[in-house]
Amino acid sequence: MTSRTVTASLFLTVCLFVLPFFTHPAKAGVMDRIKDIYNAPEKVEELESKYLETQAALEQQMKQAEQAADLYAKQQEELLRRNEEYRQRNEALSEQNAQLAGRLAAMEKSQAERASFTRKIAQSVLVFAGMGLLYLLSVRVWRYLVWRRQKQTGGGSIL
């Protein structure tokens, strides 16, 4: 054995023999035990009253918890009902939106057709007016040329 193990075992042995001298013995005597026995019914009654109070408090808490759960369930049902109403309203508005989009597309198409028709009419009027002006101008030019030819040949006045 080494010197360390010998020192450690010697220290443990001394501690085991010296330790009982430093402990305090229990001071409860026979009288204290008898008093505790006679006071036991009071302690039992005290414990029983505390038990009943605690049980009443727990029952009160249970009632409050049930009321809170009922209130929460009612609120949950109300929110679900509102959510369903909003969903139905959203579907109706979505359908209405689709109908309005269709009507808008039809109106835009109709308006584009009208604008195209109006443009064609305006172009046609301008073409006819241009042709009329061209006709009048060509007649004037033709008459002028005929007049000049006749003037050169010694004819009369056409204009």
What average pLDDT is seen over the chain? Answer: 85
Alpha-carbon torsion (132, 138, 142, 144), positive or negative: positive
Residue 155 has φ and ψ, to the nearest 5°, of -85, -175
Q: What is the pLDDT of residues 32-89, one digit of tens each?
A: 666 666 666 777 788 888 899 999 999 999 999 999 999 999 999 999 999 999 999 9
User: How is residue 159 annotated by DSSP?
Assistant: -
H/E segment holding residue 107? helix 30-153
pLDDT at 34: 66
- At 99, which amino acid appears? Q
Of 80-89, 120-129, 144-153, which gets the smallest average pLDDT? 144-153
Of 16-25, 41-50, 120-129, 150-159, which gets the smallest average pLDDT? 16-25
pLDDT at 151: 87
Q: Is the pLDDT of residue 15 over 80?
A: no
- Contacts by residues 118-121 (CB-CB < 8 Å, ≥ 24 positions apart): none
Alpha-carbon torsion (42, 43, 46, 51), positive or negative: negative
Name the one residue in this structure whose structure tokens are 């009654």: 45
Question: Which residue spans within 43-137 are E strands per DSSP?
Answer: none
- Tell which wins on pLDDT, 157 or 84: 84
Q: Which two tokens stand for residue 44?
A: 């039992």
